[in-house]
């Protein structure tokens, strides 16, 4: 992985204009604010470039990161994440089979010991109703919890893995990772749930972002970042098929109708 800011910036560039910089971040580097860890914002600052993160993705997650070069643009964009009007899509590879073609995970999150994100209910209370996973309100743990919804569509299957396209309707910390793991379909190489260190990366990728951008000619930012070849190789396995065809299938699936949680 490129370690200098000029090299990383050039290698990962998705889009740049007068107001924003969009990068396809490699897995293994932080966006900002990580203790004892060099991050993108810090690297840029060391080279005299001031950037304002519009959102964050986890260090272990690859893909789209949107950074503002101007404070007015930063305000316009961050408000859309706060109001949940920003459209987001992710790709993930799970170390499991048996997921439906489409589904909804409607499970509240809370923060447990050592600041760990968890489902705000006992694991055994999670049940599947059709293609929706949820818990009854009587089973939700007392204390602060956060309603959280993730929609997904299955893109490809192997004998041991499933490729998913996911849309986090809410944007909680670790939402996709915790939702999938707690319904029994953990993301390959996710260190939150796999401490073996057997995988080179976590197979979660920030794939698409769509936001209003009044300074753009069409008033929109429509961003897409393809995952690298390593994404399609979970451990010793390989997801067969042309990645571009798989992404095309994912795109079609994400425009379809996912069962609505109720």
Q: Show which residues are catalytic.
A: 58
* Maximum CA extent, the chain: 53
CA 154, CA 253: separation in Å to the nearest integer? 8
Sign of the Cα pseudo-torsion (140, 144, 147, 150, in order):
negative
- Residue 146 in 3-state DSSP? strand
Give me the DSSP letters along 105-139: EE--EEE-GGG-EEESS-GGG-EEETTEEE--GGG
Q: How far is CA 111 from CA 32, 140, 175, in A?
A: 21, 13, 12
Quick one: which of 14, 18, 12 has its CA closest to 217? 18
Between strands 62-68 and 204-212, the pairing is parallel
Q: Which residue matches tokens 């909680």? A: 172
Angstrom distance (rounded) from CA 79 to CA 82: 5
Separation between Cα atoms, residue 253 and residue 60, nearest integer Å: 25
């Amino acid at each position: 992985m490129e370690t200098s800011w000029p090299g990383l910036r050039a290698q990962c560039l998705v889009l740049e204009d007068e107001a924003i910089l969009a990068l396809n971040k490699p897995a293994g580097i932080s966006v900002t604010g990580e203790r004892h860890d060099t991050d993108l914002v810090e690297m840029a600052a060391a080279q005299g470039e001031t950037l304002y993160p519009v959102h964050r993705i986890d260090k272990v997650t690859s893909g789209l990161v949107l950074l503002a070069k101007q404070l007015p643009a930063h305000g316009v964009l961050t408000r859309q994440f706060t109001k949940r009007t920003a459209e987001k899509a992710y790709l993930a590879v799970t170390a499991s089979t048996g997921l439906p073609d489409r589904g909804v995970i409607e499970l509240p999150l809370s923060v447990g010991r050592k600041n760990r994100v968890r489902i705000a209910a006992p694991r055994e209370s999670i049940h599947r109703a059709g293609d929706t996973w949820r818990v009854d309100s009587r089973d939700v743990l007392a204390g602060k919890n956060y309603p959280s919804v993730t929609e997904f569509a299955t893109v490809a299957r192997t004998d041991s893995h499933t490729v998913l396209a996911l849309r986090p309707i809410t944007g909680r910390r670790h939402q996709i990772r915790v939702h999938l793991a707690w319904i029994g379909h953990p993301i390959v190489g996710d260190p939150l749930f796999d401490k073996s260190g057997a995988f080179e990366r976590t197979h979660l990728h920030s794939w698409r972002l769509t936001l209003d951008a009044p300074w753009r000619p069409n008033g929109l930012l429509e961003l897409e970042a393809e995952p690298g070849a390593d994404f399609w190789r979970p451990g010793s396995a390989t997801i067969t098929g042309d990645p571009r065809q798989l992404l095309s299938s994912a795109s079609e699936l994400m425009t379809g109708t996912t069962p609505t949680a109720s």
